[in-house]
Structure 1
């Protein structure tokens, strides 16, 4: 049986289909030959990629060394000029972990938080932060404790990084080497320890893996946990709805949705509800994440910041503009899902919807690129395009810190002025749009899709893989009618 007839027959060799991978392989002896014995060594793709992910994560930790040695504590601009800033050590004391406050339950003293009454992170991320504080010794100076807290978090986040790389490696069974896109991504290493986003990304990657193995309930549970750690994984229910609508797989969709809702409630309800005055009330600490997100003004990295700085307007209605643009983006993704001549792959739509959220949001912190990297690896596994996008993200990573050095140092000859920072934002926006355009093209022209060139349909689609269409619109309907007519004619000719 050929590979086209059975896409699970043998793994795809990236050096055979990707010219950049083939050129890079010369460092280790060149592309694998057709007689190479694959799968016969202890060094399986999963193990190799896990070790590469650990190595790259460690390099990212080394990059933070100037801040660890003092940049976080002495001289505000040092952490920017060396591009080694991290929220983690600052929030250890700034959110009350150093004095054993319980997140969401205990109000943070104003002299500690600088204006934040409660922890402004979702519940599961708050638990992650709290567990790290339990593992941090209480003795020594505050600087020493903050350093150890960052190291503890870095160790926990390294586990998350390996989970992400392994999940991506195993999601497309025939394409295990696509996990290297995650393990070797420069922006992944640079931003991994800025904040706690890797935890939510790991849960989201696990959800994608569970769905690809035909486990919608397990996928939903992981997706609900991911949403309890960060808001953006909730967006993946949109692509699942559209693809299940097109394929008529409603049982799988409702199973995943039910699992997600149940998992989210199990995590949030104990923190969400407080009983007072004889009845239930939403706890103020639990609401902080949502009220902070709603009330947050135009901030770093967004399209809206460029507009605000250029126009001199604070853009008080930015929530309305951002929501309207996101709704339009969702409509475009829905049209693509239902009208494309062949049903798009889940990873393609998942990447597009999260990218739309990133592009239209009123803030883009440099670590948000972590949300997109595993989805990009599954949606468009081509090294040239991936590296072009990563180059734009690395430039943005450097740009934001140089801009903060400029605004914080008072020295106009040091750092990046607003015009330069706006250029860095534009590079990030254009790089992401470039990758989005390629994914849309692949969905409209499946023969250009790297994943489908070997005869595969949707390796990460689980029950959607090779499922017939039940509801289509536009071009997809015309294609289905043409194929149906061709089949009837073929049957009549045989008779």
Structure 2
């Protein structure tokens, strides 16, 4: 008797379910044929799909290190950090945040980041400073600091790829969207974002493994490094309401809140002004490069025709930052409310990854700050939410175009314009539009789940974890009351047989 096949056996058809990938496969002879040897038919083969994807991730990260190498010395003359596209906050902030002088984050210097990022900076920066001042004064401390950070951040990136593979065992090639992304190549170590991304990815994996409290712990740690991982609790709440299972969500939320509080408490209690710096900085920051508000302010200026007395709404908001903050928060809150309604009224419960991608994308679209490396937040989420290469590649081209235009704009800020301002606004608009298009495509597949390739493979949400099961009755009643479920026509009574006559 043959052994029962594993339920996690790779679905070979998933590799060519994407029309774009199916077209590319013609260069290597087309999709897998019916008489071909399946890739899982040789269990002793070393180069399995997951190992190949992890190797690709390591290769791209190594190339990313090479791409940043012109900046490692810290000798940034003649705008080399922009002309070579190798700028990184990691190296710049080693000096700007006082780590090069042995300053302890929050204690001796008010770091502008949430506490887990500050702890991370200190944990790597202070030993480098100690070694460079007491053991080997000849080393370039900035270069050492960057290289140590690049190594650890790359490990978090590899861990993220491993989580993607673990969450999509039947679709391992989806993770190649992450592994081969040019976004990963150029932004992996621009800042410490992979610290939060890796922690959030582990949190998602623990959720799927039915460990909601531990999932909350890692989401809380991620939120204490960068804010966005806490947004994932919103999609979890929507799914918990549809399933009528609030206990797992409560456990995850308590885990996140308690963890965030514990890691923040020392700085909040003993160095309160340092703890407040992150929040004050974000509340006071003006409209940042390339955001929705930046584009609107530029268009306001064009429509005003240069008239000093004719000020548009975006220009007015740019001069009234507290009001801009509230407008930004309100738009994000409205988008989240619409997302909750969509999640409750969709024909089937949306997949967790779909809602998580949408809520983070909405935050970026309406935020007044959209730094170049924030694109990394969306990359693993789009792999889980909509693993189709065509739209992702279009978005990637727009992101790389913005990346190049942004550096040209930074060079121009020194007094020598490199590109017209309109070109930078065009690049910013294309980035915004492609993210919005991805959101539209994900929403379309939520409303028409038969188009979702992940559901075609799994039949349900593989990330549901403790929220797997059936909808509660009130959700079905609500959808029926609103006309999303049409009542089935009543069956006509069977006709009585004609009476017999003698």
With the length of structure 2 as denominator, give the TM-score of the two structures: 0.86
Deviation at 1:398, TM superposition (A): 0.9
Equivalent in the alignment of 2:385: 379
Deviation at 1:49, TM superposition (A): 1.7
Question: CA separation in 2, counterparts of 1:7 and 1:376?
Answer: 26
Equivalent in the alignment of 2:444: 441
Deviation at 1:45, TM superposition (A): 3.0
- Is the Cα contact below 8 Å between 1:244 and 1:464 reproduced in 2? yes
Structure 1 vs Structure 2 CA RMSD: 2.6
1:82/1:215 CA distance change after superposition, 3 Å:
same
- How many correspondences in the alignment? 463
SS of structure 2 residue aligned to 1:341: coil
With the length of structure 1 as denominator, give the TM-score of the two structures: 0.87
Deviation at 1:66, TM superposition (A): 2.5
- Is the Cα contact below 8 Å between 2:15 and 2:171 reproduced in 1? no
SS of structure 2 residue aligned to 1:371: helix
Deviation at 1:12, TM superposition (A): 2.1
Equivalent in the alignment of 1:411: 416
Deviation at 1:298, TM superposition (A): 0.8
Equivalent in the alignment of 2:376: 370
1:279-333 alpha-carbon deviations (Å, 9 max, x no partner): xxx7111111111111111111211112223435334232122112111111111
Question: CA separation in 1, counterparts of 2:214 and 2:179?
Answer: 25
In structure 1, stretches of 5+ residues that fail to align are 1-5, 109-117, 275-281
Which deviates further from its counterpart, 309-318 or 336-345? Answer: 309-318
Deviation at 1:141, TM superposition (A): 7.2
Question: CA separation in 2, counterparts of 1:473 and 1:285?
Answer: 50
Question: CA separation in 2, counterparts of 1:479 and 1:210?
Answer: 36
Question: CA separation in 2, counterparts of 1:65 and 1:243?
Answer: 45
1:417/1:175 CA distance change after superposition, 3 Å:
same
1:470/1:174 CA distance change after superposition, 3 Å:
farther
Equivalent in the alignment of 1:420: 423
Equivalent in the alignment of 1:112: none
| Alignment pair present for 1:472 and 2:448 | no
1:121-169 alpha-carbon deviations (Å, 9 max, x no partner): 1111111111221442414679921111111111011101101111111
Question: CA separation in 2, counterparts of 1:82 and 1:466?
Answer: 52
Equivalent in the alignment of 1:133: 125
1:471/1:378 CA distance change after superposition, 3 Å:
farther
Deviation at 1:42, TM superposition (A): 2.4
- Is the Cα contact below 8 Å between 1:247 and 1:470 reproduced in 2? no
SS of structure 2 residue aligned to 1:273: helix
1:481/1:292 CA distance change after superposition, 3 Å:
closer
Deviation at 1:29, TM superposition (A): 6.3
Alignment of 1:73-92 (within 5 A): 73-75=75-77, 77-92=79-94
1:43 maps to which of 47, 67, 70: 47
Question: CA separation in 1, counterparts of 2:54 and 2:423?
Answer: 37
Deviation at 1:427, TM superposition (A): 0.8
Question: CA separation in 2, counterparts of 1:190 and 1:474?
Answer: 49
Deviation at 1:231, TM superposition (A): 0.5
- Is the Cα contact below 8 Å between 1:212 and 1:462 reproduced in 2? yes
Equivalent in the alignment of 1:166: 162
Deviation at 1:28, TM superposition (A): 6.1
Greater C-alpha Rg: 2
1:143-197 alpha-carbon deviations (Å, 9 max, x no partner): 9211111111110111011011111111133222221111111112210110000
Alignment of 1:62-101 (within 5 A): 62-68=66-72, 72-75=74-77, 77-101=79-103
